[in-house]
Amino acid sequence: VKWFLLRGPHRLVIDLPNTRFAINAKDVKARGLVRSVRYGDLGEAVSRLILTGKGPFAVDRFDVLKNDDGNGYRIAIDMSAASVREFDAALANQALTTGSTVSSDKGGRVGTGPVSNPGHRFTVVIDPGHGGIDGGAEGMNGTVEKNVTLAFAKELRDKLAAVGKYDVFMTRETDQFLRLDDRVRIARQHEADLLISIHADTIRVKGLRGATVYTVSDKASDPEAQALADRENLSDQFAGMEIKDDNKEVTDILIDLIRRETHSFSMSFAQTLVGQLSTSVGLINNPQRSASFKVLKAPDVPSVLVELGYLSNAKDEAQLLSADWRGKAAQSITNAIALFASAKAGAGTGG
């Protein structure tokens, strides 16, 4: 059994090998320092239990005990309230372990590289962030990021399909977990002209709200962008996937390629997108930012990550759940794609 801490919100994540939960979900009630409890299978050999705290906490005791009647086991955890600084110190000092060596196999939708497509039209791949066991951020009123991103992605897909000029694909259409590199491979498999990754994060500053558009860079544009990239890049680890260290030589080559034509296209689209979003939805200050997001590192696919708003802000959370707001925001992104596709075609570099 392995456990580790995560922030945004404060969580205790427990990985259990070969486990069957003999629990009635209706009987699971959070109390004390715990705001919510969720559990499920991560793969054939690993299950996961996630305790979300009402605030920062410390784990004073963690034991796995055999039940007195000999049937099954129970977990005994002693938690105490802690300061943000104490939680962050524990987070910084912990040895993050994955607890799973199960690889992700999504079948034919995930390829190992580009495929030949003689009839290629301008192709957009929409990536709803998080999914499955990885719920992402949680809002003040319990809204889960993975549901927000999927609902918005479907809205955007439908608007693009209605235009009739694009091939549109989604990295996921259901509540399923996908590794970050699988998301990138899907975009490359479809020879995407554009990858748009959809997110809705939380932040400590409750008053901060509005949309942000991110591109990839080896050096973050600001501390907030770096913090967001650090959290998003933990997605695989959060879901119990085995993490392999990046090969520095490969990473340097990858960043060098991105900085050329693909990076130029990414920056161009990000600028166009910010302009279109500004006409319909609120943006944060300096809405075009950058950091080292793994999901944006396809060397040959212009990519952006769109932060729709902050679930930590009550007003943003409410509008992210609004069908009317989703429609306006999705239409702005559709308009930006039309402008980008036209410009790229005019330059003789795209479908």
CATH number of the domain residue 148 falls in: 3.40.630.40
pLDDT by residue for the chain (351 residues), tens digit each? Answer: 888 888 778 889 888 887 877 777 677 788 899 988 888 776 667 788 889 899 999 999 999 898 888 788 888 999 999 998 888 888 877 744 332 222 223 222 232 233 444 456 899 999 999 998 889 999 988 999 999 999 999 999 999 999 999 999 999 999 988 889 899 999 988 889 999 999 999 988 888 899 999 999 888 888 888 888 887 877 655 554 444 545 444 455 545 654 578 889 999 999 999 999 999 899 999 999 999 899 998 888 999 999 999 999 999 999 999 999 999 999 999 999 999 999 988 766 555
Q: Categorise residue 155: left if φ over 0, alpha if ψ from -120 to 50, beta otherwise.
A: alpha
> What residues form DSSP beta bridges with 52?
11, 36
Find tokens 């554009």 and name the residue: 194
pLDDT on residue 116: 40
Two structure tokens written together for 240: 């119990």
Q: Which helix (H) or strand (E) holds 47?
A: strand 46-53
Tell whether 101 is covered by a domain: no
The bridge status of strand 123-128 relative to strand 73-81 is: unpaired
Tell whether 103 is covered by a domain: no
pLDDT on residue 114: 37
- What single letter denotes the amino acid at residue 238? F
- Strands, E assignment, 217-333: 283-291, 303-307
> What residues form DSSP beta bridges with 127?
197
325 and 181 share a domain? yes
119 and 33 share a domain? no
Domain count, the chain: 2
pLDDT on residue 236: 59
Tell whether 22 is covered by a domain: yes
> What residues form DSSP beta bridges with 5?
12
Rounded to whole angstroms, the Cα distance separating 52 from 50 reads 6
- Strands, E assignment, 67-119: 73-81
pLDDT on residue 348: 63
Nearest to 192 by CA among 218, 168, 174, 214: 168
The radius of gyration of the chain's CA atoms, rounded to the nearest angstrom, is 21
Tell whether 227 is covered by a domain: yes
- What single letter denotes the amino acid at residue 136? G
The bridge status of strand 11-17 relative to strand 46-53 is: antiparallel
Q: DSSP secondary-structure letter at 239?
A: T
- What single letter denotes the amino acid at residue 190? H
Range of the domain at 14: 2-93
316 and 215 share a domain? yes
> Residue 224, SS3?
helix
Tell whether 98 is covered by a domain: no
79 and 135 share a domain? no
- CATH of residue 87's domain is 2.60.40.3500
Tell whether 162 is covered by a domain: yes
329: Cα separation from own chain's centroid:
19
- Strands, E assignment, 129-231: 167-170, 194-199, 211-216
pLDDT on residue 15: 85
Alpha carbon dihedral 172, 173, 174, 178, in 10-degree steps, equals 0
